[in-house]
Amino acid sequence: MSAHKTRIMYIEDKSGGLDGPARIGRVTFSKSGRSVTYGGRTFQKTVGYKFNFLDIDNGDEFWISGPRKDGADRLYGGGAAVEVDPDVAEEYWETIRGTDAPT
């Protein structure tokens, strides 16, 4: 049995408004690719206004996408800083952003 694909992604909680808490972390894709898991939660792909995934347990809206090389991942800019999970930090900064992690 093959392992499910994982990827570093940008994950923003849109359930409270257009600029929600956001982070960079590793998600695991379902076999079909129509859902992802992250942080013990499962998100189902959907089509919505400024969100593209729903938490299957509570319906919270999320924007989940591949992170940008320039770090401008927020749809509307601004908002709080985007946190990077420690377990992906080195890979994110070196492979995606092309630089050393900030100190």
Report which of residues 17 and 2 the model is more confident about. 17
Domain assignment present for 43: yes
**pTM score:** 0.91
Report which of residues 25 and 75 the model is more confident about. 25
Q: What percent of the chain stands above pLDDT 90?
A: 73
Report which of residues 102 and 98 the model is more confident about. 98
If you average pLDDT over every residue of the chain, what do you get?
92
Task: Indicate if the pLDDT at residue 48 is higher than 70.
Answer: yes
Give, as one character, the DSSP assignment of residue 90: H
Domain assignment present for 101: no
Give me the pLDDT at residue 2, please: 53
How many C-beta neighbours within 10 Å does residue 100 have?
9
Domain assignment present for 1: no
Give me the pLDDT at residue 1, please: 46
Domain assignment present for 79: yes
Say if CB 63 and CB 55 are below 8 A apart.
no
Report which of residues 49 and 28 the model is more confident about. 28
Which residue segment(s) compose the domain that 29 sits in?
A: 6-96
Identify the H or E element spanning 89.
Answer: helix 89-91
Angle at 88 between CA 84 and CA 90, to 5 degrees: 95
Angle at 59 between CA 13 and CA 80, to 5 degrees: 10
Task: Indicate if the pLDDT at residue 78 is higher than 80.
Answer: no
